[in-house]
Amino acid sequence: MSPPSSQSPFSSVQSNPPPPPLPTNLTEDPLRKFAVEVVEILKNQGYLAYFAGGCVRDTLLGLIPSDYDVATNATPERVLKLFRRTVNVGLSFGVVRVVAPKGGWDVEVATFRSDGVYSDGRRPDSVTYGDAKEDALRRDFTINGMFMDPLDHDRVIDFVGGRDDLARRILRAIGNPRDRFTEDKLRLIRAVRFAARFDLTMDPLTEQAIRDMADQLGVVAFERIAQEFRKMLAHSSRARAVSLCRDLGLMPTLLPNLPHEAYQPQVNWLVLPTLSALPDDAPFETALATVCNRLDPTTLIANLKRLRLSNPEIKRIAWLAEHRHDLDHARELPRHRLKRVLAHPHAGELIVLARAEAIARGDDATLANIDWADAYRHDLPEGPLDPPLLVSGHDLVALGVKPGPRFAALLEAIRDRQLDGLITDRDQALDLIRRQVNRSAPGPTAANSSANQTLGETPPGNHSSSFEVHD
Protein backbone atom coordinates (compact mmCIF):
# COMPACT_ATOMS: atom_id res chain seq x y z
CA MET A 1 0.00 0.00 0.00
CA SER A 2 1.41 3.36 -0.98
CA PRO A 3 1.72 5.92 1.82
CA PRO A 4 -1.34 8.04 2.35
CA SER A 5 -1.43 11.02 0.05
CA SER A 6 -3.86 13.88 -0.16
CA GLN A 7 -2.77 14.68 -3.70
CA SER A 8 -5.22 13.47 -6.32
CA PRO A 9 -3.80 10.65 -8.46
CA PHE A 10 -6.44 11.24 -11.11
CA SER A 11 -4.75 13.87 -13.23
CA SER A 12 -4.77 11.47 -16.20
CA VAL A 13 -8.48 10.82 -15.84
CA GLN A 14 -10.94 12.52 -18.11
CA SER A 15 -11.92 15.60 -16.11
CA ASN A 16 -15.63 15.84 -15.79
CA PRO A 17 -17.56 18.99 -14.99
CA PRO A 18 -19.12 18.74 -11.53
CA PRO A 19 -22.69 17.46 -11.62
CA PRO A 20 -25.46 20.00 -11.06
CA PRO A 21 -26.17 20.86 -7.40
CA LEU A 22 -27.78 18.03 -5.50
CA PRO A 23 -31.50 18.26 -4.80
CA THR A 24 -32.29 19.34 -1.23
CA ASN A 25 -33.87 15.99 -0.37
CA LEU A 26 -30.51 14.37 -1.16
CA THR A 27 -28.31 16.88 0.70
CA GLU A 28 -30.64 16.53 3.69
CA ASP A 29 -30.49 12.73 3.57
CA PRO A 30 -29.03 11.68 6.97
CA LEU A 31 -27.43 8.57 5.44
CA ARG A 32 -25.59 10.73 2.90
CA LYS A 33 -24.51 13.12 5.66
CA PHE A 34 -23.06 10.21 7.59
CA ALA A 35 -21.30 8.87 4.48
CA VAL A 36 -19.78 12.35 3.89
CA GLU A 37 -18.52 12.35 7.52
CA VAL A 38 -16.85 8.97 6.94
CA VAL A 39 -15.08 10.31 3.83
CA GLU A 40 -14.06 13.41 5.78
CA ILE A 41 -12.52 11.42 8.62
CA LEU A 42 -10.49 9.30 6.19
CA LYS A 43 -9.35 12.35 4.25
CA ASN A 44 -8.38 14.22 7.43
CA GLN A 45 -6.01 11.33 8.12
CA GLY A 46 -4.41 11.85 4.71
CA TYR A 47 -6.12 8.96 2.88
CA LEU A 48 -7.99 9.04 -0.40
CA ALA A 49 -11.67 8.33 0.05
CA TYR A 50 -14.57 8.49 -2.39
CA PHE A 51 -18.13 7.40 -2.79
CA ALA A 52 -18.05 4.36 -5.06
CA GLY A 53 -20.31 2.25 -7.26
CA GLY A 54 -24.10 2.29 -7.05
CA CYS A 55 -24.40 5.44 -4.93
CA VAL A 56 -22.47 7.46 -7.56
CA ARG A 57 -24.66 6.07 -10.34
CA ASP A 58 -27.85 6.87 -8.40
CA THR A 59 -26.69 10.39 -7.53
CA LEU A 60 -25.89 11.13 -11.17
CA LEU A 61 -29.34 9.88 -12.10
CA GLY A 62 -30.91 12.22 -9.54
CA LEU A 63 -32.04 9.30 -7.35
CA ILE A 64 -31.57 8.94 -3.62
CA PRO A 65 -29.15 6.05 -3.02
CA SER A 66 -30.40 3.40 -0.64
CA ASP A 67 -26.86 2.74 0.56
CA TYR A 68 -23.41 4.28 0.31
CA ASP A 69 -20.12 2.53 -0.32
CA VAL A 70 -16.86 4.33 0.31
CA ALA A 71 -13.61 3.26 -1.40
CA THR A 72 -10.29 4.27 0.12
CA ASN A 73 -6.58 3.56 0.10
CA ALA A 74 -6.64 3.07 3.88
CA THR A 75 -6.17 -0.59 4.81
CA PRO A 76 -9.03 -2.36 6.62
CA GLU A 77 -6.89 -2.45 9.77
CA ARG A 78 -6.61 1.38 9.66
CA VAL A 79 -10.32 1.73 9.03
CA LEU A 80 -11.06 -0.48 12.05
CA LYS A 81 -8.85 1.77 14.21
CA LEU A 82 -10.19 5.07 12.86
CA PHE A 83 -13.86 4.48 13.62
CA ARG A 84 -15.35 3.59 16.96
CA ARG A 85 -18.25 1.43 15.80
CA THR A 86 -17.28 -1.02 13.08
CA VAL A 87 -18.33 -4.46 11.91
CA ASN A 88 -15.84 -6.62 10.17
CA VAL A 89 -17.97 -7.77 7.22
CA GLY A 90 -15.32 -9.12 4.89
CA LEU A 91 -11.80 -8.48 6.02
CA SER A 92 -10.44 -10.86 3.37
CA PHE A 93 -12.02 -8.59 0.73
CA GLY A 94 -10.98 -5.44 2.57
CA VAL A 95 -14.52 -4.44 3.59
CA VAL A 96 -15.41 -2.86 6.95
CA ARG A 97 -18.86 -1.62 7.90
CA VAL A 98 -18.74 1.67 9.77
CA VAL A 99 -21.77 2.27 11.97
CA ALA A 100 -22.99 5.75 12.95
CA PRO A 101 -22.21 6.58 16.63
CA LYS A 102 -25.89 6.55 17.55
CA GLY A 103 -26.63 3.60 15.28
CA GLY A 104 -29.25 3.64 12.58
CA TRP A 105 -26.86 4.23 9.68
CA ASP A 106 -23.93 2.36 8.31
CA VAL A 107 -21.60 2.70 5.37
CA GLU A 108 -19.34 0.04 3.88
CA VAL A 109 -15.75 1.15 3.54
CA ALA A 110 -13.68 -0.95 1.13
CA THR A 111 -9.98 -0.69 0.41
CA PHE A 112 -9.11 -0.16 -3.29
CA ARG A 113 -8.32 -3.62 -4.61
CA SER A 114 -7.87 -5.78 -7.63
CA ASP A 115 -9.35 -9.27 -7.54
CA GLY A 116 -7.41 -12.51 -8.03
CA VAL A 117 -8.76 -15.61 -9.79
CA TYR A 118 -12.47 -16.45 -9.39
CA SER A 119 -12.49 -20.25 -9.27
CA ASP A 120 -16.09 -20.57 -8.00
CA GLY A 121 -17.67 -18.20 -10.51
CA ARG A 122 -18.85 -15.93 -7.75
CA ARG A 123 -16.05 -14.58 -5.51
CA PRO A 124 -12.32 -13.99 -5.98
CA ASP A 125 -10.00 -16.52 -4.34
CA SER A 126 -7.81 -13.65 -3.19
CA VAL A 127 -7.60 -9.88 -3.47
CA THR A 128 -4.65 -7.51 -3.71
CA TYR A 129 -4.92 -3.96 -2.44
CA GLY A 130 -4.32 -1.52 -5.23
CA ASP A 131 -5.29 1.92 -6.44
CA ALA A 132 -8.56 3.51 -7.48
CA LYS A 133 -8.14 2.65 -11.14
CA GLU A 134 -7.59 -1.04 -10.41
CA ASP A 135 -10.60 -0.91 -8.12
CA ALA A 136 -12.73 0.56 -10.92
CA LEU A 137 -11.58 -2.02 -13.45
CA ARG A 138 -12.57 -5.00 -11.24
CA ARG A 139 -16.20 -3.82 -11.07
CA ASP A 140 -19.09 -5.14 -13.17
CA PHE A 141 -20.58 -2.38 -15.36
CA THR A 142 -19.33 1.03 -16.39
CA ILE A 143 -22.30 2.75 -14.74
CA ASN A 144 -21.29 1.03 -11.47
CA GLY A 145 -17.57 1.75 -11.86
CA MET A 146 -17.36 5.45 -10.97
CA PHE A 147 -16.16 7.30 -7.88
CA MET A 148 -17.33 10.64 -6.54
CA ASP A 149 -15.62 13.05 -4.17
CA PRO A 150 -18.33 14.58 -1.99
CA LEU A 151 -15.80 17.02 -0.51
CA ASP A 152 -14.80 18.39 -3.90
CA HIS A 153 -18.11 19.56 -5.40
CA ASP A 154 -19.09 15.97 -6.16
CA ARG A 155 -16.29 15.61 -8.67
CA VAL A 156 -16.72 12.37 -10.61
CA ILE A 157 -13.67 10.16 -11.09
CA ASP A 158 -14.34 7.96 -14.05
CA PHE A 159 -11.79 5.47 -15.43
CA VAL A 160 -14.31 3.39 -17.33
CA GLY A 161 -16.51 5.76 -19.32
CA GLY A 162 -19.46 5.23 -17.00
CA ARG A 163 -20.59 8.82 -17.17
CA ASP A 164 -20.91 8.75 -20.96
CA ASP A 165 -22.68 5.42 -20.88
CA LEU A 166 -25.10 6.73 -18.27
CA ALA A 167 -25.76 9.83 -20.38
CA ARG A 168 -26.31 7.66 -23.48
CA ARG A 169 -28.21 5.12 -21.40
CA ILE A 170 -26.05 2.14 -22.19
CA LEU A 171 -25.33 -0.86 -20.00
CA ARG A 172 -21.82 -2.04 -20.76
CA ALA A 173 -19.57 -4.46 -18.91
CA ILE A 174 -16.20 -3.02 -17.93
CA GLY A 175 -13.48 -4.39 -20.22
CA ASN A 176 -14.17 -7.79 -21.76
CA PRO A 177 -17.76 -8.81 -20.88
CA ARG A 178 -16.94 -12.53 -20.89
CA ASP A 179 -14.22 -11.97 -18.30
CA ARG A 180 -16.59 -9.99 -16.07
CA PHE A 181 -19.30 -12.67 -16.31
CA THR A 182 -16.82 -15.53 -15.91
CA GLU A 183 -15.61 -13.96 -12.68
CA ASP A 184 -19.08 -13.65 -11.22
CA LYS A 185 -22.05 -15.35 -12.88
CA LEU A 186 -24.51 -13.39 -10.76
CA ARG A 187 -23.62 -10.44 -12.99
CA LEU A 188 -25.59 -12.15 -15.78
CA ILE A 189 -28.82 -11.36 -13.99
CA ARG A 190 -27.60 -8.10 -12.44
CA ALA A 191 -27.11 -6.84 -15.99
CA VAL A 192 -30.78 -7.44 -16.74
CA ARG A 193 -31.88 -5.81 -13.50
CA PHE A 194 -29.87 -2.64 -14.15
CA ALA A 195 -30.85 -2.44 -17.83
CA ALA A 196 -34.54 -2.73 -16.92
CA ARG A 197 -34.45 -0.52 -13.84
CA PHE A 198 -32.63 2.38 -15.48
CA ASP A 199 -34.11 1.83 -18.94
CA LEU A 200 -30.74 1.19 -20.55
CA THR A 201 -29.92 -0.38 -23.89
CA MET A 202 -27.51 -3.27 -23.69
CA ASP A 203 -24.20 -2.82 -25.39
CA PRO A 204 -24.14 -5.55 -28.12
CA LEU A 205 -20.99 -7.30 -26.84
CA THR A 206 -22.34 -7.37 -23.30
CA GLU A 207 -25.66 -8.70 -24.55
CA GLN A 208 -24.04 -11.41 -26.67
CA ALA A 209 -21.89 -12.55 -23.74
CA ILE A 210 -25.00 -12.92 -21.56
CA ARG A 211 -26.76 -14.92 -24.26
CA ASP A 212 -23.74 -17.20 -24.67
CA MET A 213 -23.25 -17.73 -20.95
CA ALA A 214 -26.87 -17.71 -19.75
CA ASP A 215 -26.90 -21.39 -18.76
CA GLN A 216 -24.04 -20.74 -16.34
CA LEU A 217 -26.26 -18.66 -14.04
CA GLY A 218 -27.16 -21.94 -12.30
CA VAL A 219 -23.73 -22.16 -10.61
CA VAL A 220 -24.75 -19.29 -8.33
CA ALA A 221 -26.43 -20.05 -4.98
CA PHE A 222 -30.19 -19.85 -5.41
CA GLU A 223 -30.55 -17.45 -2.47
CA ARG A 224 -28.52 -14.88 -4.41
CA ILE A 225 -30.33 -15.45 -7.69
CA ALA A 226 -33.65 -15.16 -5.88
CA GLN A 227 -32.60 -11.87 -4.28
CA GLU A 228 -31.92 -10.39 -7.70
CA PHE A 229 -35.11 -11.84 -9.17
CA ARG A 230 -37.11 -10.47 -6.26
CA LYS A 231 -35.66 -6.98 -6.75
CA MET A 232 -36.51 -7.16 -10.46
CA LEU A 233 -40.09 -8.22 -9.89
CA ALA A 234 -40.68 -5.63 -7.16
CA HIS A 235 -39.68 -2.79 -9.48
CA SER A 236 -42.01 -1.05 -11.91
CA SER A 237 -39.67 -2.10 -14.77
CA ARG A 238 -40.57 -5.76 -14.12
CA ALA A 239 -42.06 -6.40 -17.58
CA ARG A 240 -38.88 -5.37 -19.36
CA ALA A 241 -36.75 -7.34 -16.88
CA VAL A 242 -38.74 -10.54 -17.43
CA SER A 243 -38.76 -9.98 -21.17
CA LEU A 244 -34.95 -9.57 -21.15
CA CYS A 245 -34.55 -12.72 -19.03
CA ARG A 246 -36.58 -14.57 -21.64
CA ASP A 247 -34.80 -13.09 -24.65
CA LEU A 248 -31.35 -13.69 -23.20
CA GLY A 249 -32.02 -17.28 -22.14
CA LEU A 250 -32.00 -16.81 -18.36
CA MET A 251 -35.60 -17.89 -17.77
CA PRO A 252 -35.07 -21.68 -17.69
CA THR A 253 -32.66 -21.27 -14.78
CA LEU A 254 -34.95 -18.90 -12.93
CA LEU A 255 -38.17 -20.86 -13.43
CA PRO A 256 -38.11 -24.26 -15.08
CA ASN A 257 -41.36 -25.88 -16.31
CA LEU A 258 -43.09 -22.72 -17.44
CA PRO A 259 -45.12 -23.06 -20.65
CA HIS A 260 -43.23 -23.01 -23.94
CA GLU A 261 -43.87 -19.33 -24.72
CA ALA A 262 -42.11 -18.28 -21.52
CA TYR A 263 -38.80 -19.25 -23.07
CA GLN A 264 -39.35 -18.30 -26.69
CA PRO A 265 -38.55 -14.74 -27.73
CA GLN A 266 -41.01 -13.24 -30.20
CA VAL A 267 -43.76 -15.64 -29.13
CA ASN A 268 -46.82 -13.92 -27.73
CA TRP A 269 -46.71 -14.41 -23.96
CA LEU A 270 -49.63 -12.86 -22.15
CA VAL A 271 -47.58 -12.58 -18.98
CA LEU A 272 -45.60 -9.62 -20.33
CA PRO A 273 -48.57 -7.30 -20.97
CA THR A 274 -50.02 -8.43 -17.63
CA LEU A 275 -46.82 -7.41 -15.85
CA SER A 276 -46.98 -4.06 -17.66
CA ALA A 277 -50.55 -3.57 -16.48
CA LEU A 278 -49.68 -4.11 -12.80
CA PRO A 279 -49.43 -0.94 -10.73
CA ASP A 280 -45.86 0.30 -10.25
CA ASP A 281 -45.85 -0.55 -6.55
CA ALA A 282 -47.23 -4.10 -6.90
CA PRO A 283 -45.36 -6.44 -4.55
CA PHE A 284 -43.02 -9.03 -6.00
CA GLU A 285 -45.41 -11.84 -4.96
CA THR A 286 -48.10 -10.51 -7.31
CA ALA A 287 -45.59 -10.29 -10.13
CA LEU A 288 -44.27 -13.79 -9.46
CA ALA A 289 -47.82 -15.21 -9.37
CA THR A 290 -48.27 -13.55 -12.76
CA VAL A 291 -45.12 -15.09 -14.24
CA CYS A 292 -46.02 -18.55 -12.91
CA ASN A 293 -49.63 -18.27 -14.07
CA ARG A 294 -50.00 -21.61 -15.78
CA LEU A 295 -48.09 -23.87 -13.43
CA ASP A 296 -50.04 -26.60 -11.68
CA PRO A 297 -50.01 -26.22 -7.86
CA THR A 298 -47.35 -28.88 -7.22
CA THR A 299 -44.91 -27.53 -9.81
CA LEU A 300 -45.60 -23.99 -8.66
CA ILE A 301 -44.68 -24.81 -5.07
CA ALA A 302 -41.58 -26.72 -6.18
CA ASN A 303 -40.45 -23.66 -8.16
CA LEU A 304 -41.09 -21.31 -5.26
CA LYS A 305 -39.22 -23.56 -2.83
CA ARG A 306 -36.33 -23.72 -5.28
CA LEU A 307 -36.22 -19.92 -5.17
CA ARG A 308 -35.92 -20.25 -1.37
CA LEU A 309 -39.02 -18.17 -0.69
CA SER A 310 -40.36 -18.17 2.86
CA ASN A 311 -43.46 -20.23 3.75
CA PRO A 312 -45.72 -17.16 4.09
CA GLU A 313 -44.53 -15.96 0.65
CA ILE A 314 -45.18 -19.38 -0.88
CA LYS A 315 -48.66 -19.53 0.68
CA ARG A 316 -49.47 -16.05 -0.56
CA ILE A 317 -48.43 -16.79 -4.15
CA ALA A 318 -50.15 -20.19 -4.12
CA TRP A 319 -53.39 -18.57 -2.89
CA LEU A 320 -53.21 -15.94 -5.63
CA ALA A 321 -52.57 -18.63 -8.23
CA GLU A 322 -55.42 -20.81 -6.97
CA HIS A 323 -57.98 -18.01 -6.95
CA ARG A 324 -56.73 -15.98 -9.90
CA HIS A 325 -59.86 -16.55 -11.99
CA ASP A 326 -62.43 -16.57 -9.18
CA LEU A 327 -63.42 -12.98 -9.80
CA ASP A 328 -63.67 -13.24 -13.59
CA HIS A 329 -67.36 -14.14 -13.14
CA ALA A 330 -67.80 -12.43 -9.79
CA ARG A 331 -71.40 -11.39 -10.33
CA GLU A 332 -72.48 -14.98 -10.92
CA LEU A 333 -70.57 -16.48 -8.02
CA PRO A 334 -72.60 -17.67 -4.98
CA ARG A 335 -72.33 -14.86 -2.45
CA HIS A 336 -70.84 -16.99 0.33
CA ARG A 337 -68.02 -18.01 -1.99
CA LEU A 338 -67.45 -14.48 -3.23
CA LYS A 339 -67.44 -13.12 0.32
CA ARG A 340 -64.91 -15.70 1.46
CA VAL A 341 -62.54 -14.77 -1.39
CA LEU A 342 -63.00 -11.05 -0.82
CA ALA A 343 -62.51 -11.31 2.94
CA HIS A 344 -59.14 -13.00 2.47
CA PRO A 345 -56.12 -10.87 3.57
CA HIS A 346 -54.72 -10.99 0.01
CA ALA A 347 -58.00 -10.17 -1.76
CA GLY A 348 -56.77 -6.67 -2.68
CA GLU A 349 -53.74 -8.20 -4.38
CA LEU A 350 -55.96 -10.73 -6.17
CA ILE A 351 -58.09 -7.91 -7.57
CA VAL A 352 -54.95 -6.12 -8.79
CA LEU A 353 -53.71 -9.30 -10.48
CA ALA A 354 -57.07 -10.24 -12.03
CA ARG A 355 -57.55 -6.69 -13.28
CA ALA A 356 -54.08 -6.63 -14.89
CA GLU A 357 -54.79 -9.93 -16.64
CA ALA A 358 -58.14 -8.70 -17.94
CA ILE A 359 -56.51 -5.49 -19.22
CA ALA A 360 -53.78 -7.54 -20.92
CA ARG A 361 -56.41 -9.70 -22.63
CA GLY A 362 -58.49 -6.66 -23.55
CA ASP A 363 -61.39 -8.45 -21.87
CA ASP A 364 -63.84 -5.69 -20.90
CA ALA A 365 -66.54 -8.04 -19.64
CA THR A 366 -64.15 -9.62 -17.11
CA LEU A 367 -62.80 -6.22 -16.19
CA ALA A 368 -66.32 -5.06 -15.40
CA ASN A 369 -66.82 -8.12 -13.15
CA ILE A 370 -63.59 -7.41 -11.31
CA ASP A 371 -64.44 -3.74 -10.82
CA TRP A 372 -67.82 -4.82 -9.52
CA ALA A 373 -66.14 -7.29 -7.09
CA ASP A 374 -63.81 -4.52 -5.92
CA ALA A 375 -66.76 -2.21 -5.18
CA TYR A 376 -68.61 -5.08 -3.49
CA ARG A 377 -65.56 -5.73 -1.31
CA HIS A 378 -65.46 -2.15 -0.15
CA ASP A 379 -69.13 -2.41 0.85
CA LEU A 380 -68.53 -5.52 2.95
CA PRO A 381 -68.81 -4.75 6.67
CA GLU A 382 -65.58 -4.52 8.65
CA GLY A 383 -64.76 -7.24 11.14
CA PRO A 384 -65.04 -11.01 11.05
CA LEU A 385 -66.72 -12.38 7.98
CA ASP A 386 -68.62 -15.23 9.57
CA PRO A 387 -71.88 -14.21 11.25
CA PRO A 388 -72.70 -15.77 14.66
CA LEU A 389 -73.96 -19.31 14.20
CA LEU A 390 -77.75 -19.59 14.39
CA VAL A 391 -77.72 -23.25 15.48
CA SER A 392 -75.43 -25.45 17.53
CA GLY A 393 -74.28 -29.06 17.54
CA HIS A 394 -76.90 -29.73 20.25
CA ASP A 395 -79.60 -28.60 17.83
CA LEU A 396 -78.32 -31.03 15.22
CA VAL A 397 -78.33 -33.92 17.72
CA ALA A 398 -81.86 -32.95 18.79
CA LEU A 399 -82.89 -33.12 15.14
CA GLY A 400 -81.46 -36.61 14.78
CA VAL A 401 -78.15 -35.93 13.03
CA LYS A 402 -75.49 -38.37 14.17
CA PRO A 403 -72.21 -36.76 15.30
CA GLY A 404 -69.52 -37.10 12.61
CA PRO A 405 -68.06 -35.21 9.66
CA ARG A 406 -71.54 -34.27 8.48
CA PHE A 407 -71.95 -32.08 11.56
CA ALA A 408 -69.31 -29.58 10.50
CA ALA A 409 -70.50 -29.67 6.90
CA LEU A 410 -74.08 -28.84 7.91
CA LEU A 411 -72.98 -25.99 10.18
CA GLU A 412 -70.78 -24.64 7.37
CA ALA A 413 -73.67 -24.84 4.94
CA ILE A 414 -75.84 -22.84 7.34
CA ARG A 415 -73.12 -20.19 7.46
CA ASP A 416 -72.90 -20.15 3.68
CA ARG A 417 -76.63 -19.55 3.47
CA GLN A 418 -76.32 -16.77 6.06
CA LEU A 419 -73.56 -15.20 3.95
CA ASP A 420 -75.74 -15.57 0.88
CA GLY A 421 -78.46 -13.65 2.74
CA LEU A 422 -80.88 -16.57 2.33
CA ILE A 423 -81.49 -17.16 6.05
CA THR A 424 -81.43 -14.64 8.86
CA ASP A 425 -82.83 -16.32 11.97
CA ARG A 426 -82.65 -19.50 14.00
CA ASP A 427 -86.08 -20.81 13.00
CA GLN A 428 -85.16 -20.67 9.32
CA ALA A 429 -81.90 -22.49 10.07
CA LEU A 430 -83.64 -25.23 12.07
CA ASP A 431 -86.25 -25.61 9.39
CA LEU A 432 -83.58 -26.02 6.75
CA ILE A 433 -81.83 -28.74 8.76
CA ARG A 434 -85.09 -30.52 9.41
CA ARG A 435 -85.82 -30.60 5.69
CA GLN A 436 -82.33 -31.82 4.95
CA VAL A 437 -82.66 -34.62 7.53
CA ASN A 438 -86.03 -35.66 6.11
CA ARG A 439 -84.69 -35.65 2.56
CA SER A 440 -81.79 -37.85 3.62
CA ALA A 441 -83.98 -40.51 5.27
CA PRO A 442 -84.33 -43.62 4.68
CA GLY A 443 -80.77 -44.39 5.86
CA PRO A 444 -78.08 -42.41 7.67
CA THR A 445 -75.39 -43.73 5.33
CA ALA A 446 -77.04 -42.32 2.23
CA ALA A 447 -77.75 -39.07 4.03
CA ASN A 448 -74.19 -38.63 5.20
CA SER A 449 -72.59 -39.35 1.86
CA SER A 450 -74.97 -37.04 0.03
CA ALA A 451 -74.23 -34.25 2.50
CA ASN A 452 -70.51 -34.75 2.16
CA GLN A 453 -70.70 -34.62 -1.57
CA THR A 454 -72.78 -31.51 -1.79
CA LEU A 455 -71.33 -29.51 1.06
CA GLY A 456 -67.87 -29.11 -0.42
CA GLU A 457 -66.54 -25.88 -1.92
CA THR A 458 -68.45 -24.74 -4.96
CA PRO A 459 -66.23 -24.22 -7.99
CA PRO A 460 -66.11 -20.71 -9.44
CA GLY A 461 -69.01 -19.96 -11.68
CA ASN A 462 -70.98 -22.92 -10.34
CA HIS A 463 -74.36 -21.61 -9.31
CA SER A 464 -75.54 -24.52 -7.20
CA SER A 465 -75.89 -23.85 -3.51
CA SER A 466 -73.73 -25.89 -1.19
CA PHE A 467 -76.89 -26.92 0.66
CA GLU A 468 -79.04 -29.59 -0.84
CA VAL A 469 -82.34 -28.09 0.25
CA HIS A 470 -84.07 -26.12 -2.46
CA ASP A 471 -86.30 -23.19 -1.56
Residue ranges that bind ligand CTP, judged by CB under 6 A: 53-54, 66, 69, 139-140, 144-145, 184, 186-187, 190
The least distance separating ligand CTP from the CB of residue 89, rounded to whole angstroms, comes to 12
The least distance separating ligand CTP from the CB of residue 3, rounded to whole angstroms, comes to 26
The least distance separating ligand CTP from the CB of residue 136, rounded to whole angstroms, comes to 8
Of all residues in the shown chain, the one whose CB is closest to ligand CTP is 54
Nearer to ligand CTP, 120 or 364 (CB): 120
Contact assessment for residue 222 and residue 307, using Cβ atoms and an 8 Å cutoff? yes
Nearer to ligand CTP, 187 or 340 (CB): 187
Distance, CA of 235 to CA of 213 (rounded, Å): 25
Nearer to ligand CTP, 241 or 338 (CB): 241
Nearer to ligand CTP, 155 or 230 (CB): 230
Nearer to ligand CTP, 130 or 145 (CB): 145
Nearer to ligand CTP, 53 or 130 (CB): 53
The least distance separating ligand CTP from the CB of residue 449, rounded to whole angstroms, comes to 58
The least distance separating ligand CTP from the CB of residue 199, rounded to whole angstroms, comes to 15
The least distance separating ligand CTP from the CB of residue 137, rounded to whole angstroms, comes to 10
Nearer to ligand CTP, 55 or 423 (CB): 55
The least distance separating ligand CTP from the CB of residue 122, rounded to whole angstroms, comes to 8
Contact assessment for residue 108 and residue 34, using Cβ atoms and an 8 Å cutoff? no
The least distance separating ligand CTP from the CB of residue 77, rounded to whole angstroms, comes to 22
Beta bridge partners of 96: 109
Nearer to ligand CTP, 69 or 326 (CB): 69
Sequence-ordered list of residues with C-beta below 8 angstroms from that of 277, at least 6 positions apart, any chain: 355, 356, 357, 359, 360
The least distance separating ligand CTP from the CB of residue 204, rounded to whole angstroms, comes to 21
Nearer to ligand CTP, 174 or 289 (CB): 174
